[in-house]
Amino acid sequence: MKLEPVSGDPLPFSAKPYGRIAVVGAGSWGTALAATARQAGAEVRLWGRSREVVDEINARGTNARYLPDVPLPQGLRACRGLRAALSGAEAVMIVVPSRSVRSVAREVAEFIDPGVPVAVCAKGIEPESGLLMTQVAEQELPGHPMGVVSGPTFARETALGHPTAATVAFPFSYEDRLHPGESPAVRLSVTLSTGSFRAYISDDLVGVEIGGAVKNVIAIACGMMTGAGFAENTRAALITRGVDEMKVLAEALGGRRETVTGLSGVGDLALTCASTTSRNMSLGAQLGQGVPRADCFDGAPIVVEGEFNAKSVTDLARRVGVSMPICETVRAILHDGTELGPAFAALWARPIESEPRALGLSFDHPASDQAIATLAERIS
Indicate which CATH number applies to the domain containing 350.
Answer: 1.10.1040.10
Q: Note the pLDDT of residue 378.
A: 84
Q: Number of structural domains, the chain?
A: 2
149 and 189 together in one domain: yes
Residue 5 lies in a domain: no
Q: What percent of the chain has pLDDT over 90?
A: 88
Exposure string of 283-310, with b = 16+ CB inside 10 Å and e = fewer, is bbbbbbeeeeeeebeeeeeeebbbbbbb
In the 8-state DSSP scheme, what is residue 263?
Answer: I
Residue-wise pLDDT tens digits, 211-258: 999 999 999 999 999 999 999 999 999 999 999 999 999 999 999 999
pLDDT exceeds cutoff 70 at 3: no
**16-69 pLDDT, tens per residue?**
999 999 999 999 999 999 999 999 999 999 999 999 999 999 999 999 999 999
Tell me the catalytic residues: 215
Lowest mean pLDDT among 288-297, 334-343, 348-357, 371-380: 371-380
Report the mean per-residue pLDDT for the chain: 94
- Mean pLDDT, residues 11-18: 81
Q: Is residue 339 over pLDDT 80? A: yes
266 and 183 in a common domain = no
Q: Is residue 114 part of a domain?
A: yes
Whether the pLDDT of residue 316 is over 90: the answer is: yes
Whether residues 55 and 110 share a domain: the answer is yes
| β pairing state of 20-24 and 197-202 | unpaired
130: pLDDT strictly greater than 70: yes
Provide the 8-state DSSP code for 57.
H
pLDDT band for position 376 (cuts 50, 70, 90): confident
Res. 119 pLDDT band, cuts 50 70 90: very high
Examine the pLDDT at 150 and tell me if it is beyond 60: yes
User: Domain boundary at 203, 234, 268, which?
Assistant: 203
Would the pLDDT of 277 be above 90?
A: no
**Angstrom distance (rounded) from CA 263 to CA 93:** 19
Residues 224 and 356 in one domain: yes
pLDDT at 285: 96
- Residue 9: the pLDDT is 60
Using the 3D structure, point to which of 185, 203, 221 is the last residue of a domain.
203
What would the pLDDT profile of 177-201 be if each residue is shown by its tens digit?
A: 988 999 999 999 999 999 999 999 9
**Residue 117 shares a structural domain with residue 78:** yes
- Asked if 235 and 340 sit in the same domain, the reply is yes
Q: Which domain holds residue 299?
A: 207-379
pLDDT value at position 8?
58
Examine the domain organization and report whether 121 and 227 are in the same domain. Answer: no
pLDDT at 11: 58
- Whether 195 and 261 map to the same domain: the answer is no
Instruction: Look at residue 284 and tell me if it is in a domain.
Output: yes
**Rounded CA separation 279/308 (Å):** 13
